[in-house]
A and B are shown apart, each in its own frame.
Chain A
Amino acid sequence: MFHGTAPGGSLAACRAAAAALCGSSSEHLVALARVRGDTGCVADTHLSAAWLPAPGVRFGAGFAARLGSLALRLGAAVDRREGAGAGFLAGAGAEWAGARPYRPGEDLRRLDWDLLARLDRPFVRVVRREASEEWSVLLETSASMGVAGRAALVPEAAPRGKLQAAAELCAALSAMGLLRGARVRLIDAQSGASLRVTRRAELARALAWLEARRAAGASEAVRALTRLKRSAGARVFLVGDCFGLEPRDFLALARPGRALMALRVLAPLEVEATQLRAIEWIEPHTGARLALRLDAPLLARYEALLATESESWVRGARNHRARFVQLSSASSLETLARQVLDRA
């Protein structure tokens, strides 16, 4: 396990050392290397299977700037929506931050009567959550998160994978949380490693930590959620494909004053495989194979089964005043953020 909040660079060094120690003999099996590096960190390093097309995370050069811009836009959008009473990301228990002009249709309860009396123009109160709040962002990094949207195994093509999309979402949530004055705790569901950031200046550390994530191994999300019960923040985000998880595993975190949101990221082929007539599915962790002839009835049954599973998440989330959003890894970060905001 990775203990403490070591910089991403140290963790990356540990992982590089682990890879060097294990060599490249882990082409087809997931190897687990326990490394004790010079930096004092101890890490369980999973090496990804060769058949995973996108097991890593890579933020581009302009990603940080793009993220800052997105966070500001999201913040403004949340503020604009506050009056509607659906501010999952703004939430209750907020402190006064300022005022802005009233827009028709907004909740009149938010109207600042003092300003109306003084200026004779309607303004609404803009609030932000209290600075003591903590957001827990749990990122699934099991082997299934290394799946991408492509049909072929072409590693050099570097398709956009689920882990990439999920990590970008985590980064956006972190930026959003920091912008709103919250402490953000990023947690790797596989290794249990975590990183806590409290200031916007620490966003770069969060990005480095996310870039060090790698999809490997069987899902440990249930165990991670169980551990999180003791230390979850006021808002808990689960970002992953949720395969191998039951809604109750996540919803068990529900407490009064705590908001839960599950963001399910699926690859396009996991949502719809109609472009292929025949396929050989590979189990991401074990490499087990399943050859299928995809005819219309089979595809219909698959989509129905997936819909049933998603519906159970939606229903369970509704019962616990939580949110569940299903997203496609092929979508851009901006699209994903808009979809999340629409459901928040």
Chain B
Amino acid sequence: MSGLVLQTPWALALLALPALLLWLARSRSRPAQVATGSFELWRRLGAQGRTSAQSLRQRPPARLWALCAALALCALALSAPEPKQARAASELWVAVERGPALLLPWYDPETGADAGISRLERALEQAAPALQAAREAGARVRWCDERGEAWAGPLDQQPEPAWFAAATGRAFDHQGLDQPHLLWLSTGAWRSERALPQLAGLALSGGAAVPGLVGRAGGYAQLYDGGEHVRRGERLPAKAAIEGAPAAALEQLFRFWCAEQALELLPGASPDSACVLRAAEPTAASHTLEGGRDGWAAALQVGGPLRAEAGWTTWLAAADGEPLVRWRTGVIETNLLALTPLGGDPAALAVSCSELFEAALRAPPGLVGLADRRGAGESLARPAPGLAQPAQVRAAVQRGARWQSLLLVASAVAALVALLLALGAVQLSLARSGSSSMRP
């Protein structure tokens, strides 16, 4: 099966059924265990016939093997295997360079006028012919993100706009995703810095520069004018908060950083807080350990463990992997009760913590990076050079279907053999019982 891939791999779980049947048959075929007073006589005779109880187990009958083979083949057929090449030819992957830039309005590169659609919609217009051709040929269209991870939604459906606009902070894997049968969907703002892909197809929205908010500095908005300049705009207030009683050193650095960022520090978090430093619930028990990162080391007094939740990025952890400081957009959470630096450069801790705070800082609404707002050139649609032609796709789909048909036929044959063997066994049993009942 190394040259095969499965469309529904979960169906392989059904292989447990024949395995279970065989296991039950084996466990029921254990030799009888009988206490006997003539054990000594048997022991004297047993030198030749002696064996292990394991080896005395009777083999499951052929009909059971046939039935298990039928079930296994059926499970394999349900898992829908197909040759890797056929799968590759029968699938078109759309790799999306996600981010808020995709939701920017699309300005016509020639006129600079707002066309009334977003860059995402423009990119999808560019991809539409390739997607349409693939679907008509029977190929499946699937979506993946900037790292090649598949979108978990239903097959042949398009993800929702929120998925396209998600700001993951991860760079598009230009090298890894340059493969045949792949179509890049992007604004194309990177074209001035990078070469076009060699193997993958393209659906780039392009578009003229989009003026707007590109940053926040000193409590003021940084506005891009659509040309070459960024100017300071109106005041852009933002809030931060400290919840609970985190380690004093950490809290002090957070206060300094908030002052530097012109964040209004409030005692409690609110839904529009840009960054919250939250201490875990206090516990009676605590322990001390040493830890550090980015060139600093400190004695750490640790309270109770943080609640297990998904979606966090651990920033500092104990040797056993237990998170001590973790973050996600807008929130930093810690169970450190005290943090005492152990020598070294005192600036290292401050710089390290600033990076943590900035990573967790929630961007104000409408903020899109300057690089994304710049002009992205002309729209571009280019099919993947290696993308299969409709006839090839149809042939590949048929090859996959042939495998499934083959397995189903084999399963049916095995089931028929099992049935015939079972009928034969029943007839033999009836014949034996008939002959024994006729004995005088």
A-side interface residues toward B, CB under 8 Å? 49, 51-53, 144-147, 150-153, 162, 241, 243-244, 266-267, 269-270, 276-284, 288-295, 298, 301-302, 305-306, 309
Contacts and interface: CB of A to CB of B under 8 A. Distances in A.
A243 B32 contact: no
A146 B35 CA distance: 8
B34 interface: yes
B58 A278 contact: yes
B37 A144 contact: yes
A104 to B, nearest CB: 34
B168 interface: no
Interface centre among A276, A280, A281 (most CB of B within 10 A): A281
Contacts of A293: 49, 51, 56
A291 B37 contact: no
3 closest residue pairs by CB, A with B: A144-B37, A278-B56, A278-B31
A282 B39 CA distance: 7
Contact of A53 (B35, B39, B49): B35
Given A269-B34, A288-B39, A291-B50, 16 more contacts: A144-B37, A144-B39, A151-B32, A243-B38, A243-B40, A266-B38, A276-B32, A279-B56, A284-B37, A291-B31, A291-B52, A291-B56, A292-B49, A293-B56, A295-B49, A301-B45
Nearest to B29: A278
Contact of B36 (A147, A295, A298, A301): A147
A259 B53 CA distance: 46
Contact of A292 (B37, B40, B51, B58): B51
Interface range, B side: 20 to 34
Contacts of B56: 278-280, 291-293
Interface of B: 31-46, 48-53, 55-56, 58
A244 B40 contact: yes
A311 to B, nearest CB: 14
Contacts of B31: 276, 278-280, 291
A302 B33 contact: no
B36 A281 contact: yes
Interface centre among B43, B45, B55 (most CB of A within 10 A): B45
Contacts of B46: 290, 292
B51 A282 contact: no
Contacts of B40: 243-244
B37 A282 contact: no
Contact of A290 (B39, B55, B58): B39
B109 to A, nearest CB: 85
Contacts of B48: 298
Contacts of B53: 280, 289, 291
Interface centre among A49, A277, A283 (most CB of B within 10 A): A283
A269 B39 CA distance: 11
A238 to B, nearest CB: 15
Nearest to B43: A290
6 contacts: A162-B37, A267-B36, A280-B33, A289-B53, A291-B51, A306-B41
